[in-house]
Structure 1
Amino acid sequence: MRLIAVEEAFSIPELDRRHPAAGDLGAVPIGRGIARHVAERLPDLTELRLEDMDRNGVDVQVLSLGAPGLQIAGLSSAEAVADARFANDYLAKAVAARPDRFAGFAAVPLQDPEAAAVELRRAVTELGLRGALVNDHTDGHYLDEPRFDVFWSALEELDVPLYLHPGAPPLDHWDVLEGSPELVGPTWTWGVQTGGHALRMLYGGVFDRHPGARLILGHMGEYLPFMISRLDSRYRTMDPVRPLAQLPSHYIGTNILITVSGVPSPAALAGAVLSIGADAILFAIDYPWEETASATTAFAGAALSEPDRHKIAHSNAERLLRL
């Protein structure tokens, strides 16, 4: 069975040199061992990565620029546009060298939404990339803001998805984190922040204005598939400022899709399938931050029908990304 992994990070040494502080994840607790492991594997596209894929039966990785990508605090519009073009050209060359093993998501300079739409069109129509990935907010701007409608229109017109990933610099301090650094980052805060960003889009009417748009959330949907009934029940009690055309549950599983990245849990996958259906779920690893073997073993052990297993393993990605 073909296996396509759709949230797999890479880095570009030249971009790292341009922005040496960008890779500092601040208060996120990361051990020295995993830091070395990741630093060694992020820029590699020819040896360690392919060996890991072969050993664990992964046929294709969909590559994306690792966090924070272009969501660097204070990055100017001009810098972001130049970095996006450089990153996307670099990625397109890597994919062209191994089109049997790699595809890619574009980096987009959301510091300037019109420029982001232009770069997305170039990346998809000229370079053959399959969508875009951004790392949460861009300098405190969230994608429900009307200024980003031009970018959503481009995504809809090109019929490609946007992957919303955690990793932008934090905007504020949460008192609940005081004295508990373990909660910072992938353990808890990133999921809440990214899921919250997705809910801003949903409640802000992005998917009513752009019904053909597709948003992908990693990490088993950043909690959202398991909140659907509560979202609906609480929406019924509201007098919303911006009424939705449908209940919130309508958009999760249609406009909002998820991957299993970073959550190697057959139980969680079973719950997600029951909640939003296998048509809305894609396989992913979160390489090199997560172990490929853990992801593939958990997926192999999940109690899925054969049609659902094939959908999640490869056919949803083939359909969505036209692979």
Structure 2
Amino acid sequence: MRITAMTLPVRPLGSQGLKASAQGLGCMGMSAFYSDADHKATDEESISVIHKALELGVTMLDTAEIYGPHTNETLVGKAIAGNRKAYVVATKFGITQNGPDGSPENVRRSVEGSLERLGIDCIDLYYMHRMDPKTPIETTIKELKELVNEGKVKYLGLSEVSPADLRKAHAVHPISAVQLEWSLWTRDAEAELIPTCRELGIGIVAYSPLGRGFLAAKYSSPDDLDKDDWRRNNPRFAGESFKKNLALVEKVKELAKAKGCTPGQLALAWVHHQGEDVFPIPGTKRIKYLEENVAAFGMKLSKNDIDALEKAVPHDQVVGERYEADFMHTAFDRYDKK
């Protein structure tokens, strides 16, 4: 499917006034964690992708201080320089070398650093990246509320939060968006977290909607990834798990061929069809894939299409946790829900 003259629509993200393109651009892979063995993007290439994204109506850019660390925010800052008002800038804090840190001191330190690296005076959407078991969520949100009052942050978000902590946070200051992993092969949030977001009028930002590239059928072996690529340590990309998950993707490829699109477009269209309150943020370092991703928004899936996809990739048949063991405890579905 080729991109046409369409551009993405802008929609309310949450119920506090934030508006963003129906699909955002995840910028993490431009600077950290991901690296295909056959292609390492330069900053110039990544900036060209960010500029092309705007032409296609993609206004929301997603980054974080931990990406690099710090270098991805600097990259995004360079890309938006001179055209800052055209973009919705979302960044995140709270993951440090010593683990999650939601202390007021770190909140303050982090926001000042992000503002400087991004070259802006206000962050549109500021997420707490991971919950800190040492700091009550209410304490963190109170400090974030001060940042809103000071004009350094417009809207607040949370990433990988439990439904219970989301309610606690929302009671202190309205939360506009929750970032969570959601794709054909990661559907844990559907049980409790997504219904909680919808009950509270909170927007849903779906990261890794293409299963970290796996659902796009880009990889036939872990050797397709650079030796430093974080995904080599991801349980779903390892050994026998990779082989079993690849068999699921083969079914997606068959359905995509019949539909006349790429596997990635079909998987991304499935996420879009979950509701207008869902904003996927697929990441890419190449204009070709950016255009494919944007084109996926215009795809129409019937109930039969959706049923066939979900039958092809049964959630309970995906092999492997979505994070390695030493990080999985920070994910919402393993978090203490006291």
Q: Taking structure 2 as the reference length, what is the TM-score of the superposition? A: 0.43
Between the two structures, name the one with larger relative contact order (CA 8 Å, sep ≥ 6). 2
State the TM-score, normalized to the length of structure 1. Answer: 0.44
